[in-house]
Structure 1
Amino acid sequence: MIKKILAIALLTFFCFVSSFGWYTSQAQAFTEEQKLLLQSWRIVNQSYVDESFNHQNWWKLREKFVKKPLLDRNETYTAIEEMLAKLDDPFTRLLRPEQYHSLQVNTSGELSGVGLQINVNPETKLIEVISPLAGSPAEAAGVQPKDSILEIDGVDTKTITLDEAAAKMRGAIGTKVSLRVQSGLDKAAKPHTVNIVRDRISLNPVFTALDTSTDEKIGYVRLNQFSANAAKEIAHGVSKLEQQGAEAYILDLRNNPGGLLQAGVEIARMWLNNSTIVYTVNRQGALGSFDANDGMLTDDPLVVLVNQGTASASEILAGALQDNERALLVGEKTFGKGLIQSLFELPDGAGLAVTVAKYETPNHTDINKLGIMPDDVVSQDPITYAQIATDADKQYQEAVKLLTSKQNVLADAALESS
């Protein structure tokens, strides 16, 4: 009897060893290309905001794509891109090494190109302009928010990814790029070609000035992007305006496509005391939050300018100031991007941008695809960079009017938020 039990135990052990050896050999048999694809799959599996993966069988997709013959790195990248495309989420995407590097530069330094912030329109699937950067070649050429980029140097943008489109528009200073553009403002207009000469794009995100044209000294602060140095530059600019005697402020977030979440939170803390800035909602539906304590730079009255190019981190800041009654919003409904991405670096220098959470404004408003409606809606035809904050800028003039004619109301709002 004992011999029989021993024999069964030994047989079970050898079966286990055999199975383990088979599993180990299978794991060792994965090529470097398969390992990169599996690591990408695993990052999304652990981090993606929607546990249903937008109703995709994520495990089945793993098995399908790992069986693909991946002969080189380019084929692996293509397979990863195809796998991520199944999520139907343009914000979750592969960043090839040059694209990943460019994104890092875009949030911390400077680059050369045409100066467009772009996105994939979730309805039309076309590459759409969020905004041209202020003073950029694209802005000078007349490219407007909501314009669709149909072709880049003759390449149909439906056949390339968002990051490939961005890479095609970047390039050496002095070189030319041709864009086929469909107006987003005039749907009846025929597509037209815009030829642009690439130039160095300044990424200094903040511009400040003191408006003394009225009895009240108004500090004007324009924020173009939430880059790594944005909070520092805002603090420096507001401190300088305070020294110059500013009594009220206009914060211009028009055509600001967003950027770093942390930069948005830090800047919100400069205008708020003891307030919730934003709620985040993870894949389990759990709420987190970012809050402001006692670091407000000034309690002077504040108006925030927004438009359809105000997106992402800009909407976090605008929503925080509006819901906490710290500021009035003037302009047009914002873009409506209520999703948060994290960046994950892959071993070969590529990266993944993955949607990891949603956000809600302090009043628990989900603005994704809906945007934020201003307190004072002022429509405005496109104006040039040189016309911003002039008599031609109706939204700016409305903000000045509010700050001068309703000074006490806005001041009370500021005191309540403190």
Structure 2
Amino acid sequence: MVKKVFSFALLVFFCFIFSFGWYIPDANAFTEEQKLLLQSWRIVNQSYLDETFNHQNWWKLREKYVKKSLRDREETYTAIEEMLASLDDPFTRLLRPEQYRSLQVNTSGQLSGVGLQININPTTKLIEVIAPLAGSPAESAGIEPKDSILEIDGVDTKTITLDEAAARMRGKIGTKVSLRIQSGRDKAAKPRTLNIVRDRISLNPVYTALDTSTNQKVGYVRLNQFSANAAQEIAHGVSDLESQGASAYILDLRNNPGGLLQAGVEIARMWLEDGTIVYTVNRQGALGSFDSTSEILTSDPLVVLVNQGTASASEILAGALQDNERALLVGEKTFGKGLIQSLFELPDGAGLAVTVAKYETPNHTDINKLGIMPDDVVSQQPITYAQIATDVDLQYQEALKLVTSKNNMLAEAG
């Protein structure tokens, strides 16, 4: 009798093991494509801000996509993109290897190459030089704005994308690249071939100038992106302006799409002596904060320029300065991106940008999809890059008037 009971128990046990195996397959049974999809799913499952995953069964979605026939990497990428699209969050996205590398370059603040800003001319469809970076090999070679790049190492640029052209000009320090250039100033001139040696390129996101058009010297600081070297470049720029006698400042954050959160916090600390810079809220609803307790660069009056292109880390900085009454904001309502993403690298060199938290300004204002309203609203038609901070820049002129006004309360507080 005992033996029968024992045999029956063993039978039930092995049946359980057999049945269990149908539902939890061995990890080795997955293909490489399935493993990449599952890793992407797992990253989102563990870190995404919205625990409801846009009010859907995230586990059920996993089963749906892991059953798909993924024959190659392109099909896997498409499946991951479809899966992420169900979250209805444009900021949580797949970054294919070339996109991921490009984003890392943009935020690192340095790369190695020839040092050219390029675009596609809408009329000629040719790759055109916007400007060579100061001190770059391209500048030393005599390449000028409006020059066209016809070939890169013998490859006709009409046959490649802008990203591919940029990638071909990047490379290891000390290596050569051949560029066939058509002059933008002299269209009759024959194209010339330049052999340029690549070097380390510093992507300075900061431009500074001293405005002496009024009875007061005003330091103008334009920040284009919150890259890894942004805080250091701001510090150098302001220090230089201080040595030139600047007694008031205009910080231009227009069309700055953001970048690194930490860079935004560091720059806020340079202007704000004390106070909260930003609150962060994670998926559990836990509230964290970044505060300023460090020595500031200057207590001089400050006006910040913003517009619809001011987003993310730019809004964190603008909101911190406005809520702490350190600066007046001039321009137009900001973009309204109050979400924070983290980057996760995948085994094949691709990456995921995942929304992991949201932020609130020091006054606990959630600006996502709402933006920040400036203290002084000044609308203007789009202007060219060369017209920024000139007489035709109405927003800049209003900021200049405010920052030099004797009635500027922030000047008295500073």
Gaps of 5+ in 2: 121-128, 133-144, 147-157, 170-178, 182-197
Seen in structure 2, the aligned counterparts of structure 1 residues 224 and 376 have a Cα distance that, compared at 3 Å, is same
Q: Quick one: which amino acid aligns to residue 254 of structure 1?
A: R
CA offset at residue 115 of structure 1?
A: 5.9
Q: Quick one: which amino acid aligns to residue 339 of structure 1?
A: L
Match of 2:46 in 1: 46
CA offset at residue 39 of structure 1?
A: 0.6
Seen in structure 2, the aligned counterparts of structure 1 residues 91 and 25 have a Cα distance that, compared at 3 Å, is closer
Instruction: Indicate the SS of the match to 1:317.
Output: helix
Match of 1:83 in 2: 83
**Equivalent residues in 2 for 1:99-178 (5 A)?**
99-108=99-108, 109=110, 114=118, 167=163
Q: Quick one: which amino acid aligns to residue 221 of structure 1?
A: V
Q: Quick one: which amino acid aligns to residue 255 of structure 1?
A: N
Deviations 1:296-340 (A, max 9, x none): 221111110111111111011000000010000011111111111
Task: Measure the CA separation in 2 of the matches of 1:362 and 1:305.
Answer: 19
Contact 1:113 1:171 (8 Å CA) reproduced: no
The reply to whether residue 271 of structure 1 matches residue 271 of structure 2 is yes
C-alpha RMSD of the superposition:
3.0
Contact 1:33 1:70 (8 Å CA) reproduced: yes
**Equivalent residues in 2 for 1:334-345 (5 A)?**
334-345=334-345
- Report the more deviating stretch, 202-211 or 31-40: 202-211
Q: Quick one: which amino acid aligns to residue 267 of structure 1?
A: I
Match of 2:294 in 1: 294
Contact 2:119 2:162 (8 Å CA) reproduced: no
Seen in structure 2, the aligned counterparts of structure 1 residues 354 and 25 have a Cα distance that, compared at 3 Å, is closer
Match of 1:238 in 2: 238
Instruction: Indicate the SS of the match to 2:404.
Output: helix
Match of 1:18 in 2: 18
Match of 2:346 in 1: 346
Aligned pairs, how many? 352
Task: Measure the CA separation in 2 of the matches of 1:36 and 1:268.
Answer: 39
Instruction: Indicate the SS of the match to 2:241.
Output: helix
Contact 2:118 2:130 (8 Å CA) reproduced: no
- Report the more deviating stretch, 384-393 or 19-28: 19-28
Contact 1:134 1:385 (8 Å CA) reproduced: no
Task: Measure the CA separation in 1 of the matches of 2:117 and 2:11.
Answer: 68
Instruction: Indicate the SS of the match to 2:249.
Output: strand
Contact 2:116 2:131 (8 Å CA) reproduced: no
Match of 2:254 in 1: 254
**Equivalent residues in 2 for 1:278-317 (5 A)?**
278-317=278-317
Seen in structure 2, the aligned counterparts of structure 1 residues 380 and 53 have a Cα distance that, compared at 3 Å, is same
Match of 2:376 in 1: 376
Seen in structure 2, the aligned counterparts of structure 1 residues 307 and 168 have a Cα distance that, compared at 3 Å, is farther
Seen in structure 2, the aligned counterparts of structure 1 residues 135 and 316 have a Cα distance that, compared at 3 Å, is farther
Q: Quick one: which amino acid aligns to residue 240 of structure 1?
A: D
Match of 2:59 in 1: 59
Contact 1:113 1:169 (8 Å CA) reproduced: no
Seen in structure 2, the aligned counterparts of structure 1 residues 408 and 69 have a Cα distance that, compared at 3 Å, is closer
Task: Measure the CA separation in 1 of the matches of 2:85 and 2:408.
Answer: 52
Q: Quick one: which amino acid aligns to residue 232 of structure 1?
A: Q
CA offset at residue 215 of structure 1?
A: 2.4
Seen in structure 2, the aligned counterparts of structure 1 residues 167 and 354 have a Cα distance that, compared at 3 Å, is farther
Match of 2:399 in 1: 399
CA offset at residue 22 of structure 1?
A: 5.0
Task: Measure the CA separation in 2 of the matches of 1:307 and 1:172.
Answer: 34
Match of 1:129 in 2: none
Gaps of 5+ in 1: 117-132, 142-152, 154-164, 177-199
Q: Quick one: which amino acid aligns to residue 32 of structure 1?
A: E
Deviations 1:77-117 (A, max 9, x none): 1111111111121111111111111111121235766469x
Seen in structure 2, the aligned counterparts of structure 1 residues 113 and 209 have a Cα distance that, compared at 3 Å, is closer
Seen in structure 2, the aligned counterparts of structure 1 residues 364 and 25 have a Cα distance that, compared at 3 Å, is closer
Contact 1:258 1:314 (8 Å CA) reproduced: yes
Contact 1:112 1:171 (8 Å CA) reproduced: no
Seen in structure 2, the aligned counterparts of structure 1 residues 25 and 402 have a Cα distance that, compared at 3 Å, is closer
Task: Measure the CA separation in 2 of the matches of 1:287 and 1:221.
Answer: 32
Q: Radius of gyration: which is bigger?
A: 2
The reply to whether residue 223 of structure 1 matches residue 217 of structure 2 is no
Contact 1:113 1:172 (8 Å CA) reproduced: no
**Equivalent residues in 2 for 1:164-203 (5 A)?**
167=163, 203=203
TM-score normalized by structure 1?
0.77
Contact 1:135 1:385 (8 Å CA) reproduced: no
Deviations 1:165-200 (A, max 9, x none): 985896667899xxxxxxxxxxxxxxxxxxxxxxx9
Contact 1:331 1:379 (8 Å CA) reproduced: yes
Instruction: Indicate the SS of the match to 1:270.
Output: helix
Contact 1:268 1:321 (8 Å CA) reproduced: yes
Instruction: Indicate the SS of the match to 1:405.
Output: coil
Instruction: Indicate the SS of the match to 2:271.
Output: coil
CA offset at residue 345 of structure 1?
A: 0.3
Deviations 1:177-236 (A, max 9, x none): xxxxxxxxxxxxxxxxxxxxxxx9983200111222222221111101111110110011
Contact 2:308 2:334 (8 Å CA) reproduced: yes
